[in-house]
Amino acid sequence: MCAGVPDSGMATNRQSGSGSPVPSALPVSAAIGAAAYVLNYVLVYAFMLVDGVESSGDIPGWQVAGWVFYNAHNVEVAVSVGGESASGNYLESAAAGGLTDAISALTSTVPKLVYYVVPALVLVLAGFLAARRVRATLSGAQAAGVGAGIAGGYLVLAVAGVFVFEYTVSALGTTAALAPELSAAVLLAGLVYPLVFGAIGGVIDSI
């Protein structure tokens, strides 16, 4: 009798299965997405520190970093004063939204392109890691689905961040408020970015 020889196909870390592994992978994908949100915010804050950006007046630097974080996702910051409103992107103009001094040094050292590209790359990496951790063999479409699943966590924090990074001040009976635009934050930062770049990362893992 011949001794059994292990099938080399079973020596891999991933195994084939009859059911789709995507649904069971989504909770972890969402957790990875939440971690990607935090990492992107930290990186944007770090870029601002390298640029020597300081907060303006009583506005905390961490809130200014939040605005720039959303700007890096092409979400503008809305400024509302006494019923009047305007919006802008601080990566495009230091005077965006009427606040001229808070981030006048932005992109003076770190190129503007870096602010835009790094969040996308982090999301690609997050999608790749989400698909990589699945032990089952994934088709390209399945890997894209697992990677896009990072949107679950990214969306929750993207919505919460709109309110966390809101800054309000009252003087002489007038209230001014600055915050990322909610609808754009949901659509772009919360959905489009993680769905698209997360899916790309998942597909890269399946290649």
Domain membership flag for residue 1: no
Give the distance, in angstroms, between the CA of residue 138 and the centroid of all CA atoms in the same chain: 25
Residue 85: give the domain boundaries. Answer: 22-206
Domain membership flag for residue 197: yes
Q: What are the DSSP E strand ranges found in 43-198?
A: 77-81, 84-88, 167-171, 174-180
Given a contact cutoff of 8 angstroms between Cβ atoms, the answer to whether 127 and 72 are in contact is no
Domain membership flag for residue 153: yes
Domain membership flag for residue 186: yes
Binning pLDDT at 50, 70 and 90, where does residue 40 land? Answer: very high
Q: What is the mean pLDDT of the chain?
A: 86
- End-to-end CA separation in angstroms for the chain: 40
Domain membership flag for residue 5: no
Rounded average pLDDT over 68-97: 84
Domain membership flag for residue 16: no
Rounded average pLDDT over 191-207: 97
- 177 three-state secondary structure: strand
Dihedrals phi, psi of 88, to nearest 5 degrees: -170, 175
Binning pLDDT at 50, 70 and 90, where does residue 3 land? Answer: low
Domain membership flag for residue 13: no
Residues belonging to the chain: 207
pLDDT at 204 over 70: yes
Rounded average pLDDT over 143-164: 98
Total domains in the fold of the chain: 1
Structural tokens at position 143: 């890997």
Domain membership flag for residue 14: no
Structural tokens at position 62: 């961490």
Question: 76: closest CA among 84, 65, 86?
Answer: 86
For residue 93, the model assigns a pLDDT of: 75
Given a contact cutoff of 8 angstroms between Cβ atoms, the answer to whether 161 and 88 are in contact is no
Count other C-beta atoms under 10 Å from residue 78's C-beta.
Answer: 20
pTM of the model as a whole: 0.85
